[in-house]
């Protein structure tokens, strides 16, 4: 082809050639009809959807590495498509409730809250990273960058935070939030469209009447003035605090609906910042009351976590019954230890190792690691309970 191009056009036909990875089965074997391990793309697309299949191939197309194609991976990216669809439905429902003239509202970027400044900053970075990955033919990085942002930042964090503004009694604040939500979703759809053309087109058309096809829209451009390092740093701190409270609740087996009292101990800048963002703590960590202290004795009889320079305490009186929780954890540790012993006995059996397939042995080893990690987590929680009981908490 190169010789023909030079002969008839005085130029090579392609200046860049991308050689994709070899697609193998989930055990890493080359697909072959004789082995019966061939995956028919049409069957996969029929079951999981074309966009999920396309996204899977893009996300796994790392340079210099073959693709081990397993249906559970495709199923995982089908969940991603569903996540995007549900986020779009949330945005669409809120846009449908907007006030007359709200659709013509111009976003006031000078008066954005912490969550709004953070998500715009993160979007700007993601667009930059995505474009750089495409230009460098790193399609797996391109797909994974958009996956992480869409699922873990836009859906898991920002949509939940936006509900505060959307339900605000201030009509202007609610209108601004709706406007920003649609702008963010539009940018996400444009970014994802090259990999997921069908679902992005469908969502794009539902977000407005007689919209021109997403195919003829410009790909998102980088907005460097959106990037705000200080806001991203503050938001990361707030998210870490919320995670710490959630983890303590989980370790203490606190019911999800139960509101908790939290005591924050640290320096004045961190405490002042958390006071300003207390509404997010109440919604995302189910904090019923919060106390802030920059000195004095630390609380007794409380579950504790440390986030940077901040100490987080959850007083456990009237929250959990420590005696019952200690008994439950002890029983659970014993149960998981028995399961681990069974797996270890199987792995120590020479006949099993000699006869079992490699993938079966590997799964048993993975089970053993998971059981060991679970035992460590349970024992850590048990130690905290015992320490609290030693301090006199009932």
Domain ranges, ordered by start, for the chain? 110-229, 232-315, 322-390
Would you state the pLDDT for residue 132?
94
Backbone angles phi, psi at 288, to 5 degrees: -85, -40
* pLDDT for res 265: 94
Q: Could you tell me which of 193, 239, 227, 235 has the C-alpha nearest to residue 125?
A: 227
List Cβ neighbours of 372 (8 Å cut-off, separation of 6 or more): 340
pLDDT of 147 reads 96
Residue 167 has a pLDDT of 87
Q: Within 10 Å of residue 137's Cβ, how many Cβ atoms?
A: 15
Give the model's pLDDT for residue 392: 62
The answer to whether 209 and 118 are in contact (CB under 8 A) is no
Per-residue confidence in pLDDT tens, the chain, 394 aa: 667 777 777 777 777 888 777 788 777 777 777 777 777 889 889 999 999 999 998 998 877 777 787 888 899 999 999 999 999 999 999 887 664 445 555 566 677 889 999 999 999 999 999 999 999 999 999 999 999 999 999 999 999 999 998 888 888 888 888 889 999 999 999 999 999 999 999 999 998 888 899 999 999 988 889 999 999 999 999 999 999 999 988 888 888 888 999 999 999 999 999 999 999 999 999 999 999 988 777 777 788 889 999 999 998 775 677 778 788 888 999 999 999 999 999 999 988 888 888 888 899 999 999 999 999 888 888 887 787 777 665 5
Residue 60 has a pLDDT of 87
How is 321-356 classified by DSSP, letter by letter?
-HHHHHHHHHHHHHHHHHHHHHHHHHHT-HHHHHHS
pLDDT of the residue at 107: 65
Angle between helices 71-96 and 171-192 (to 10 degrees): 150
Give the integer Cα–Cα distance in Å for 154 and 31: 38
Separation between Cα atoms, residue 345 and residue 268, nearest integer Å:
55
Fold of 110-229: Isoleucyl-tRNA Synthetase; Domain 1 (1.10.730)
Q: Any idea which architecture 232-315 has in CATH?
A: 2-Layer Sandwich (3.30)
Burial state string for 202-220 with b = 16 or more CB within 10 A and e = fewer than 16: ebbeeeeeeeeebeeeeeb
* Highest CATH level, class, for 322-390: mainly alpha
Token pair belonging to 205: 């058309």
Residue 272 token pair: 């002042």
CATH fold match for the domains 110-229 and 232-315: no
């Amino acid at each position: 082809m190169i010789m023909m191009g030079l002969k008839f056009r005085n130029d090579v036909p392609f200046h860049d050639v991308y050689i994709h990875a070899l697609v193998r089965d989930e055990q890493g074997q080359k697909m072959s009809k004789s082995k019966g391990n061939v995956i028919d793309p049409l069957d996969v697309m029929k079951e999981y959807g074309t966009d999920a299949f396309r996204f899977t191939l893009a996300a796994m197309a790392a340079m210099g590495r073959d693709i081990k194609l397993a249906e559970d991976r495709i199923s995982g990216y089908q969940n991603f498509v569903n996540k995007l669809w549900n986020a779009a439905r949330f945005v669409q429902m809120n846009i449908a409730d907007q006030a007359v003239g709200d659709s013509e509202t111009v976003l006031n970027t000078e008066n954005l809250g912490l969550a709004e400044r953070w998500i715009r900053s993160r979007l700007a970075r993601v667009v930059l990273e995505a474009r750089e990955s495409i230009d460098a033919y790193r399609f797996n990085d391109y797909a994974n960058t958009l996956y992480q942002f869409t699922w873990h930042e836009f859906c898991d964090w920002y949509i939940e935070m936006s509900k505060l503004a959307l339900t605000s009694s201030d009509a202007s604040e609610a209108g601004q939030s709706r406007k920003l939500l649609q702008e963010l979703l539009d940018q996400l759809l444009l970014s994802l469209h090259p990999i997921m053309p069908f679902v992005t087109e469908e969502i794009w058309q539902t977000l407005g009447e007689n919209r021109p096809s997403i195919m003829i829209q410009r790909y998102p451009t980088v907005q460097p003035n959106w990037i705000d390092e200080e806001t991203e740093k503050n938001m990361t701190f707030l998210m870490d605090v919320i995670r710490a409270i959630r983890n303590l609740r989980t370790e203490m087996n606190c019911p999800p609906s139960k509101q908790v009292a939290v005591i924050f101990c640290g320096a004045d800048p961190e405490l002042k910042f958390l006071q300003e963002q207390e509404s997010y703590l109440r919604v995302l960590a189910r904090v019923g009351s919060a106390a802030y202290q920059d000195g004095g004795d630390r609380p007794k009889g409380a579950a504790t976590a440390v986030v940077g320079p901040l100490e987080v305490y959850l007083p456990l009186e009237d929250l959990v019954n420590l005696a019952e929780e200690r008994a439950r954890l002890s029983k659970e540790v014993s149960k998981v230890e028995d399961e681990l012993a069974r797996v270890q006995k199987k792995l120590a059996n020479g006949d099993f190792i000699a006869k079992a397939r490699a993938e079966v042995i590997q799964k048993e080893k993975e089970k053993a690691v998971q059981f060991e990690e679970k035992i460590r987590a349970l024992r850590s929680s048990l130690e905290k309970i015992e320490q609290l009981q030693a301090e006199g908490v009932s």
